Amino acid sequence: MKLKYLALSVCAAAFISCNSDKPVAADPTLKNILGDKFLVGVAINSEQAAGRDTSAVDVVRRHFNSIVAENCMKSEVIHPEEDRYDFSLADEFVQFGEDNGMFIIGHCLVWHSQLSPWFCVDADGKNVSPEVLKERLKSHIHTIVGRYKGRIKGWDVVNEAIEGDGSYRRSKFYEILGEEYIPLAFQYAHEADPEAELYYNDYGMHEPGRRDAVVRMVNSLKGKGLRIDAVGMQGHMGLDYPSIGEYETSLLAFASTGAKVMITEWDMSALPTVNRGANIADKVAFEKALNPYPEALPDSVSNLWNARMKSFMELFIKHSDVITRVTAWGVSDSDSWKNDWPVPGRREYPLLFDRNYQPKPFLKEILGPKKAVFDEFTYTVAPRDTDKATGQVTTPGTLNPVLPGCYPDPSICRVGNDYYMVNSSFAFYPGVPIWHSTDLTNWEQLGYVLNRPSQLPMYDGLRISGGIYAPDIKYNPHNGLFYLITTAVDGGGNFFVTTDDPKKGNWSDPTFLPEVGGIDPGFLFDEDGKAYIVNNDAPAGKPEYDGHRAIWIREFDWKNGCTVGKQKMIIDGGVDKTQHPSWIEGPHLYHINGTYYLMAAEGGTGPNHSEVIFTSASPFGPFKPCAINPILTQRGLPGDRPNPVTCVGHADLVETPDGDWYAVFLGVRPYRDGHDVMGRETFMLPVTWKENQPIILPEGDVITYTADRSYGPAPLWTANGLAKEAFFIRTPLVPCYSINSKGQLEMTASSTDLNQKRQPAAIGRWISNWTFTAQTGLDFVPQQPKDFAGIICFHDDNCYIRFGKTLDKDGKPVMLLETYSHGRLCSQANSPLTRTDEKVYLKVEGDNAVNYTFSYSTSPKGGWTQVGDPVSADLISTQTAGGFTGTMVGIYATGGYQN
């Protein structure tokens, strides 16, 4: 079956395409591109409703299919005196909406601000009685809603009633009526127009206190049988708040009530947050600090603003199943309420269209996406005469690494004759590669455990070496479920997921365990039906030295999916605390022949890495170091030994049906002076038992590996979808590609580049050997020098190589090779092309000296032209770049969408 994803920009594919044989719309609009997902709304002022602001009216008519009243329906305007209404401006607003076929929203019936002064007080300025306020409220709502019955389709009934801590705002309504005024307002609105949709609207909805209170309020209204159709999440944002994760958490919480969600009042300040910066007593400095860009935004700020707006729009599209409207709070920057506040002359840039009524770059990316079309991308490791024969190997642990490439921190379990193994995946998506074998020798990747965005929301700013650390997979025979527990470092903490069959690829959403601190949690499902979680965390009390950590245990109630009881520290420091052992981590607990074995890594994940083991008669200890420790290490060996494997540790044990034991563990294959490009890989060795303890490798013995096992050519995708090993950089809010009927991958060139710590349009796989070839064909028509599509070798956001087609500064087509290290451009080479629209074929080859050569051809039959000198892999090695990952090779496309 053909697999096709719809992305933010891919939504426009029906209107715009880089292929000349497809229809092209002359004037794509927001409502045409996004209208099948949600209403695209805008707040309009009275000048616009009256048709006098003709430039704004043109934008509204072209791009929006919903309008909301900015001010004309607030009580101080529409109901200035108790016995007098002024409907003149509201009538113009409604008529404008009807004349232009808009979905009309009324804003707002009950709000403490811009409230008519008479509304809640008597002639002496004292609060009226509850009975009087109820009657005034009822009359106000019945009169306004009744006037526009059947014409206004939805109402913001109550606005901003909840404080950030979850308490009710002490408004006049609350002072007099308490919480009762909210259900009364919804009751009165429904009485006035039973067909109208009714909404609650508030700001700061990412704050946990307000979020939880609004959820309770909505459920309470529903429990009373009152109508509430949606929660309005005001989108007043800044460059540093809210986070996408916080906003998404609230969005899903509101949707869980059964109400829909509306993004209302959306704008994003590009200026410093109010009350930060200069001393307010220094008026000149204060005003300058709050109005830093009186002429225009600098590119750096504009790029950040557009990237955040794009990410939030993608979030809205991702959740278009529950979001019914997205409304900008104003047409253009000149209309924003944020101008001239809090100081006169302050110039803001918060809306979708600039002061010239032109779409901002992130909107241009929606309206006019640029496409790169890739032929099959293949990755190949060719056999060489010096390779060891691998076809007849049947003994586990003979071929190493058993999983070449960046597959660290392995964990393994067996059920019957089926073995399952998982690895860390850091900030790449999908998360946690999972493998299956029946013989411990031949491993097939089943895909990924965390293969839905809801399981792995890794968004903007997450470092590449953050994300998912050291997953542990275990089988619980008492309920027939497989459990995987891991840590989302920088992204939520420890959690577990479950499935009844890993081959189905359908694991549950995460259950987080906030009470379990630290990293590297692991399960033991014991013979008696009890279960335990062990994990690394800080020691009890103040750490006594750098790297002083501990292993803790607590009981896990698998029937209810939660921990029970208190945690207990069972290892303090390591085998011999007097020697200041560092970074005891990666614990696994086993119950073997009546003895509890606790195995853990010690010494850090560098060259001093090792694996150690302890025993106890009880899972809660006391645990004593075994007689022989470490049970695995390569530290202390000669640095000049041939073909070294270093940094070994983070092991896990598994028993075969015949009673043999094996260990899987991570190791590194440096190629020169500690440099490596594959990162930490998975190795396997048989385990021997001596003095009632397991030993993976006697200290001093050398681990060997089988170099350059042939592989491929393996495609990164087929007509049926991406290969099982393919992954993205962080979690895409919406996918950036589709696969056409010819098996080509059509990628939307994202404005997000590789160095922005976001989600660039990039798809790849791990490099698994020093020698390899990766190649593809590319159809791409760059329109400006920022347009670029081709191949990448990516270590992290600061260290990478990119090779592809673009335009030079004179607008001429070139093949460009660039290398980046620590965020700086290190080298650049290019080769001219004859035509902007000619198809090119790209290739990167790694040789035994671990240099990468980049070439291109304009013919599918070859005739390769090398661009620049070979690039040393040192540039993107872990030794140079740091971090925990290997090298991703794949495809990438970026585009410039500036005005």
Q: Which residues are catalytic?
A: 160, 265
CB 173 within 8 A of CB 181: yes
Write out the DSSP string of 666-679: EEE--SBTTB-SS-
| Partners of 866 in the β-ladder | 855
| Sequence-ordered list of residues with C-beta below 8 angstroms from that of 630, at least 6 positions apart, any chain | 575, 602, 610, 611, 612, 699
Given CA atoms 242, 245, 250, 252 in this order, what sign does their dihedral have? positive
The structure tokens 């347009």 sit at 787
> Which 3 state secondary structure label does DSSP give 259?
coil
How far is it, in rounded angstroms, from Cα 558 to Cα 531?
7
Q: Which residues pair with 602 in a beta bridge?
A: 610
**Rounded Cα distance, 651 and 662, in Å:** 10
Q: Which residue has the tokens 């304009």?
A: 858
* Single-letter amino acid, residue 509: D
Residues 6+ positions from 892 with CB-CB distance below 8 Å: 754, 760, 761, 762, 763, 788, 789, 790, 791, 792, 802, 804
288: left (phi over 0), alpha (psi -120 to 50) or beta: alpha
CA 881, 885, 891, 895: dihedral to nearest 10 degrees?
-50
CB 624 within 8 A of CB 572: no
Inter-helix orientation angle 130-147/181-192, to 10°: 30
Strand 260-268 relative to strand 230-237: parallel, antiparallel, unpaired?
parallel
Place of tokens 């070979």: 870
Q: What is the DSSP letter of 503?
A: G
Residue 503 CB partners (closer than 8 Å, separation 6+) = 436, 446
Q: DSSP for 92-154, please give it.
A: HHHHHHHHTTPEEEEEEEEESTT--TTTTB-TTSPBPPHHHHHHHHHHHHHHHHHHTTTTS-E
Q: How many CB atoms lie under 10 A from the CB of residue 700?
A: 9
**Strand blocks (E) in 286-410:** 323-328, 370-374, 378-381
Residues in CB range of 153: below 8 A, 6 or more apart: 103, 104, 105, 196, 197
Cα–Cα distance, 899 to 892 (Å, whole number):
23
| Tokens describing residue 142 | 């019945």
Write the CB contacts of 297 (distance below 8 Å, at least 6 apart in sequence): 270, 305, 349
What is the DSSP annotation of 146-158?
A: HHTTTTS-EEEEE
Report the candidate in 237, 327, 344, 331 with the shortest Cα–Cα distance to residue 45.
331
What's the Cα-to-Cα distance from 99 to each of 42, 65, 163, 284, 728, rounded to whole Å? Answer: 16, 12, 38, 48, 46
- Residue 304: both structure tokens together: 């950040």
For strand 493-499 and strand 511-512, is the pairing parallel, antiparallel, or unpaired? antiparallel
Instruction: Give the CA angle between residues 315, 318, 320 to the nearest 5°.
Output: 105
**Nearest-angstrom CA–CA distance, 681 and 407:** 5
